[in-house]
Amino acid sequence: MRILGIDPGYAIVGWGAVEYQGSRFTCLNYGAVTTPAGMDFPQRLDLIYTGVENLLETYKPEALAIEQLFFTNNKTTGIAVAEARGVILLCAARHNLPIYEYTPMQVKQAVVGYGKATKQQVMEMTRRLLGLQSIPKPDDAADGLAMAICHAHTGASALTRMGIKNLR
């Protein structure tokens, strides 16, 4: 399964493209879509849309894994990130790409095995799982890769693919 993991933002959108087969990961690539601070916000959103669309066309993922938003103390920043995230979701929807959302705690649990792991622990385990020489930079790209790993470990399970999401 080919997965595009996304760490949403309006200044930096971190991303990681990962192939997962059996229990083996292959890192296809990673990076960031960036927007200039002085640019008008609608143009920044357009850059994000175009950047994500280019990623979808280049890597042809079968799933998009994206971080769920959590409430922040800075409402202005939270709203801007939510708008950028909405543009990313729209782009994926227009490409008929299944979208999976994960909380930071779910990502930590799936990547490290501990839901309260530190950011450094997540980045190091991401590096190890993907067989990379060093921790991916920028941090946002490492977060995108961790998001893809999370989906591979949780959302891409056989039960989820069969439509069984809640076993109660």
Q: Are 81 and 96 in contact (CB under 8 A)?
A: no
Residues in the chain: 168
**Based on C-alpha coordinates, what's the Rg of the chain?**
15
Task: Extract long-range pairs of 77-84: CB within 8 Å, 24+ residues apart.
Answer: 80/10, 80/41, 81/8, 81/9, 81/10, 83/10, 83/41, 83/45, 84/8, 84/9, 84/10, 84/13, 84/44, 84/45, 84/48
67 classed as catalytic: yes
Active-site residue, 140 included: yes
Catalytic one of 40, 57, 83, 140: 140
Q: Which of 67, 83, 139, 143 is catalytic?
A: 67
Catalytic residue numbers, as ranges: 7, 67, 140
